[in-house]
């Protein structure tokens, strides 16, 4: 039995860890370590949640460093813990992006016994050079695109839950996303940073991403490909505008999306839900070239202080009444778009059933 420590565990990691625990049943045990100040509560048996890192580490064979918005504040501590684990001959998986010098230092400490696995760079080295005048490849599998309304929204939970539901119904599924944590899963493909680097022509980014998706489709042999658009589809404000939704536009242009899932926050929609719904549909249709099929309403709002002082997109929880109110309003003004409470883990099965029902009239999905 391989003993694994997951640090620093946050609620955003629940779907990932739940899947890891399930797939490693009988071969691995998990201890989730969360800083005491985070006040994290988890009931994920047989995984154990604790605030005592030293005790958990002493009994561990592997250290898994998972990324989350809060992990940013533990950067020095994370590097120190990785170095300690490698020095003691323990395998380390790191999903947090590291500075060049720190990455070089930890890679240099890697040995056959204490190997350092840097998840943001574990993807395959595909040939992604854009070919001039090359036709965009159409995907033969079903494409389910998942996007966030604005920059910084956490979408890995939706991708993992949707994949699980499709798999339960007998489909072979792969996930494409920019979440390095998900590289711990066997069916995940991490989007290479080189595709959307500054300095590239926008059309080349579309061609490269399209070529990457074609490689993934061939390698995975998936019947359903869940693609997470890696940035928001719109600006949050005139001051905090992200990339104006340009990356999402480029990624969407490379895909033939069959079902589009959008994660939204109530604060940007409550001014007039009927108008907001119409605007969202128009934005998706004419900016991304997709129809809005499913909407996940999150129980969060932007942390304005964090954004203004540190330019960091962070979110704080809001009460369930805001979600319930928006869901009610949206459903009353709805025609064909389905709305779901993102805090309810059972809704992903409904999204999958709805997508299968809708697509069965258009494509051969059995």
Class of domain 2-121: alpha beta
Cβ neighbors of 249 (< 8 A, separation 6 or more) are 233, 287, 288
Average the pLDDT over 85-101 and give the result.
96
Per-residue DSSP letter, 266:
G
The C-alpha atoms of residue 177 and residue 202 are separated, in whole angstroms, by 19
The percent of residues in the chain predicted with pLDDT above 90, rounded, is 72
Residues in the chain: 366
Distance CA 85, CA 106 (A): 10
Contact 78, 101 (CB under 8 A): no
pLDDT, position 363: 47
Tell me the pairing of strands 315-317 and 300-302: antiparallel
| CATH architecture type of domain 142-359 | 3-Layer(aba) Sandwich (3.40)
pTM: 0.93
Give the mean pLDDT of the chain: 91
Strands 142-148 and 91-94: unpaired
> What is the per-residue pLDDT across 208-256, written as a single tens digit (0 to 9) for each?
999 999 999 999 999 999 999 999 999 999 999 999 999 999 999 999 9
Buried b (16+ CB within 10 A) or exposed e, 220-258: bebbbbbbbbbbbbbebeeebebeebebbbbbbbbbbbb
> Which of these, 282, 255, 280, lies nearest to 339 by C-alpha position?
280
3-state secondary structure of 142: strand
Which has the closest alpha carbon to 47: 60, 34, 35, 30? 30
Highest mean pLDDT among 33-37, 144-148, 313-317: 144-148
Q: Are the folds of 2-121 and 142-359 the same?
A: yes
Whole-angstrom distance, CA of residue 82 vs CA of residue 55: 16
Nearest 10 degrees: CA dihedral of 8, 161, 333, 151? Answer: 40
What pLDDT was estimated at residue 27? 84
Question: 307 or 104: which carries more pLDDT confidence?
Answer: 104
The answer to whether residues 216 and 228 touch, using CB atoms and an 8 Å cutoff, is no
Q: Hey, is 226 helix, strand or coil?
A: strand
Name the band, by pLDDT with cuts 50, 70 and 90, for residue 261: very high
Would you state the pLDDT for residue 362? 52
Contact 79, 61 (CB under 8 A): no
- 273-283 and 320-332 helices cross at what angle (nearest 10)? 80
Say which residue, 25 or 269, is predicted with more confidence: 269
How far is 215 from 266, CA to CA, in rounded Å? 37
| 48 compared with 262, residue with greater pLDDT | 262
The mean per-residue pLDDT over the stretch 306-316 comes to 87
Nearest CA to 41 out of 10, 71, 18 is that of 10
Helix 246-253 and helix 202-220, axial crossing angle in degrees, nearest 10: 50
Q: Return the pLDDT at 101.
A: 97
Instruction: Give 3-state DSSP helix, strand, coil % of the chain, rounded to 5.
Output: 40, 20, 40
Confidence tier at 191 by pLDDT (50, 70, 90): very high
121 contact partners, CB below 8 Å, separation of at least 6: none
Q: What residue segments make up the domains of the chain, in order of their start?
A: 2-121, 142-359
């Amino acid at each position: 039995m391989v003993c694994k420590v997951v640090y620093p565990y946050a609620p955003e990691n629940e779907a990932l860890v739940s899947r890891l625990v399930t797939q490693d049943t009988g071969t691995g045990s998990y201890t989730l370590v969360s800083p005491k100040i985070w006040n994290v509560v988890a009931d994920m048996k047989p995984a154990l949640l604790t605030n005592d890192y030293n005790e958990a580490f002493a009994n561990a064979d592997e250290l898994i460093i998972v990324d989350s918005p809060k992990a940013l504040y533990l950067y020095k501590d994370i590097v120190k813990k990785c170095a300690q684990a490698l020095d003691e001959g323990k395998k380390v998986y790191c999903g947090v992006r590291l500075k060049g010098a720190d990455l070089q230092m930890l890679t240099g400490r890697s040995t056959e016994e204490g190997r350092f696995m840097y998840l943001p760079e574990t993807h395959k080295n595909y040939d992604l050079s854009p070919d001039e005048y090359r036709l965009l490849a159409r995907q033969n599998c079903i494409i389910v695109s998942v996007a966030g309304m604005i920059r910084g929204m956490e979408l890995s939970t939706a991708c993992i839950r949707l994949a699980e539901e499709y798999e339960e119904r007998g489909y072979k599924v792969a996930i494409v996303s920019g979440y390095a944590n998900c590289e711990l899963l066997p069916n995940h493909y991490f989007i290479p940073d080189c595709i959307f680097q500054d300095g590239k022509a926008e059309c080349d980014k579309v061609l490269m991403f399209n070529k990457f998706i074609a490689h993934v489709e061939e390698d995975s042999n998936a019947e359903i490909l869940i693609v997470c658009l890696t940035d928001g589809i719109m600006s949050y404000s005139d001051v905090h505008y992200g990339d104006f939704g340009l990356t999402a536009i480029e990624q969407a242009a490379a895909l033939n999306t069959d079902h589009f899932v959008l994660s939204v926050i109530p604060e940007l929609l409550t001014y007039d839900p009927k108008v907001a719904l119409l605007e969202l549909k128009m934005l998706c249709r004419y900016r991304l070239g997709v129809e809005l099929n499913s909407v996940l309403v999150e129980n969060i709002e932007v942390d304005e202080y964090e954004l203004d002082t540190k330019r960091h997109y962070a979110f704080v929880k809001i009460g369930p009444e805001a979600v319930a109110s928006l869901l009610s309003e949206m459903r009353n003004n709805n025609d064909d778009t389905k709305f779901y409470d993102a805090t309810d883990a059972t809704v992903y099965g409904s999204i999958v059933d709805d997508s299968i029902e809708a697509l069965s009239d258009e494509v051969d999905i059995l």
